[in-house]
Chains A and B, each alone.
Chain A
């Protein structure tokens, strides 16, 4: 049988199944044949294998309670704790770095599951004392200790309340007045009093990942090129400014789907940038 030569893009499509061991022999051979002559894919496989091995050494990762509740409300399938371990692997510095990256992959998967199933933006009002501010990064970038991840316990005393979904127009709408402003359910006085700042559902679910990624960034700071650090710092500052602006506007108009989306987009951008930084090659 003539062996088909895969392109890198085709290999990219197959890597997931390749690492899951789900490829049949022929396709597996094609991937390996391509990788044997392709520096890019060879490196990718090496890195992913390192991540896989490092991930096996990670402690059991369980979503924080508040995050799990959000996930549980949105999906039907159960989340299985990651318990797979592999014994006897000695970690090099490179692998430790990749383990950090694996942590990101795992946490981002949780985030993805949480946000993928969020069909409509929800404004969640929480106890300000229990909030992690995912919009603050400058202290991390500058090298001070990472902020402690606070897991707000959902109790009536904590002042956690949810506001009904804010309608969001996602396609050309008929010429009717926009419902999000005029018809959004008003928050009860008690709820409003319990809040100093609204948090979107995406914000709540992204916060833990941002904290983790900021911690990775702090650890990797010495490994990265100073000019790269400068670019990252400058752009994180821009994103944080955008987060701050969107949040301030959202506080004045909590029912705005547009502002909710702006805030979520900025936070998502921050996660993407931090993920990128976590996976950047070292300068040496």
Chain B
């Protein structure tokens, strides 16, 4: 496969200085033009990357790099910044990047925190241990970390967020939410989602927001707490199940409790309003709390 089509403009930015001794970080300051709805990709090892959306059609990349193998490629509709493949991880790279509003942004790092603000475009973030932060994007937004925390706010579109041990905070999302962790807690605030799904093993799960009449909401944890905050006028059929936890509801509940053979497992089903939306809350040993209002904050 040809990696570069004829006519592609390639800028080997920092590699020109490959013979130098990098006792000091190398300064980067370059401006490129990006066509409408183009994409910017960055792949580094450590340091940090901050991307911010601005008006206009230019991408400005500023910062420092300890590596001599940082490479910037500019091809019509797409700009990439990366450490040259197969040349090791290099040193720290600190980048402040401004991109035209509407740009699709893809960032990945090993340990660097990644932040994207105000791009109003598609965002994809991946990091092993760095924290990930997105605000003011037009979905889909995807963020994956192993130990880093994920913080996503103000997204008009779908959001997918995963972390192993990091916490996930999602606020003001209007699209579908799909999120999971192993031990990190999951908190969804002021959601306006038609569909939300959260799963964790030991973390707690909190959802506060509107319930779409035709929506589907599934929240599961093994040992964490489940907290749901929904408006009084919601319309939903709720199915709650816990093995050894408790259930506490602000809503009047017509309960049907079923116990398993071991005498622990409890299942509750009830409706609020017409009961058109479906809400499932399941936990093995955690407690379930359902509150009126959408000010529920799951943060400790």
A interface, CB within 8 angstroms of B: 5, 7-9, 32-43, 45-46, 169, 171-173, 175, 177-178, 181, 225, 227-228, 231-232, 234-235, 238-239, 242, 245-246, 249, 252-253, 255-256, 258-259, 261-262, 265-266, 269, 273, 276, 280-281, 284
Q: Is the CB of A232 within 8 A of B164?
A: yes
Q: Mark B23-50, 1 if CB is under 8 A from A, else 0.
A: 0000000000001011101110000000
Chain A contacts of B199 at CB under 8 A? 265, 269
Q: Given A40-B106, A258-B265, A280-B128, do A32 and B1 touch, yes or no (CB 8 Å)?
A: yes
* A-B CB contact pairs (8 Å), 6 listed: A37-B79, A38-B39, A39-B80, A225-B129, A249-B243, A269-B201
Chain A contacts of B85 at CB under 8 A? 42-43, 46
Q: Is the CB of A255 within 8 A of B261?
A: yes
B interface, CB within 8 angstroms of A: 1-5, 8, 35, 37-39, 41-43, 73-82, 85, 88-89, 104, 106, 108, 110, 122, 124, 128-129, 140, 146-147, 164-165, 182-183, 199, 201-202, 220, 222-223, 237-239, 241, 243, 256, 258-262, 264-265, 267, 269, 271, 275, 278, 282, 284-285
Q: Given A178-B258, A238-B202, do A8 and B269 touch, yes or no (CB 8 Å)?
A: no
Q: Is the CB of B201 within 8 A of A242?
A: yes
Q: Determine the distance from Cα of A36 to Cα of B2 in the docked complex, in whole angstroms.
A: 8
Selected from A40, A169, A238, A259, the residue in CB contact (under 8 A) with B183 is A238
- For the complex formed, measure the closest distance between the CB of A3 and the CB atoms of chain B, giving whole angstroms: 9
Selected from B75, B88, B183, B239, the residue in CB contact (under 8 A) with A36 is B75
Interface centre among B78, B88, B129 (most CB of A within 10 A): B78
Chain B contacts of A235 at CB under 8 A? 164-165, 182-183, 201
Q: Is the CB of B182 within 8 A of A181?
A: no
The B interface is mostly helix, strand or loop, or mixed, namely loop
Chain B contacts of A172 at CB under 8 A? 237-239, 269, 271, 275, 278
Chain A contacts of B75 at CB under 8 A? 33, 36-37
Chain B contacts of A34 at CB under 8 A? 39, 78
- For the complex formed, measure the closest distance between the CB of A100 and the CB atoms of chain B, giving whole angstroms: 18
Our count of residue pairs bridging A and B at CB distance below 8 angstroms stands at 187
Selected from B129, B165, B285, the residue in CB contact (under 8 A) with A245 is B285
Q: Is the CB of B147 within 8 A of A38?
A: no
Q: Is the CB of B243 within 8 A of A8?
A: no
Chain B contacts of A259 at CB under 8 A? 243, 260, 265
Q: Is the CB of A7 within 8 A of B261?
A: no
Q: Given A32-B1, A238-B201, do A181 and B260 touch, yes or no (CB 8 Å)?
A: yes
Q: Determine the distance from Cα of A39 to Cα of B44 in the docked complex, in whole angstroms.
A: 10
- Closest B residue, CB atoms, query A18: B1
Q: Is the CB of A228 within 8 A of B147?
A: yes
Q: Is the CB of A231 within 8 A of B146?
A: yes
The 9 A-B residue pairs with the shortest CB-CB distance, nearest first, are A37-B78, A37-B75, A39-B82, A172-B237, A5-B77, A252-B262, A253-B261, A178-B258, A39-B43
Chain B contacts of A258 at CB under 8 A? 241, 243, 260, 265, 267, 282
- For the complex formed, measure the closest distance between the CB of A266 and the CB atoms of chain B, giving whole angstroms: 6
Selected from B129, B164, B260, B284, the residue in CB contact (under 8 A) with A227 is B129
Chain A contacts of B122 at CB under 8 A? 7-9
Q: Is the CB of A242 within 8 A of B269?
A: no
- For the complex formed, measure the closest distance between the CB of B180 and the CB atoms of chain A, giving whole angstroms: 8
Chain A contacts of B223 at CB under 8 A? 242, 245
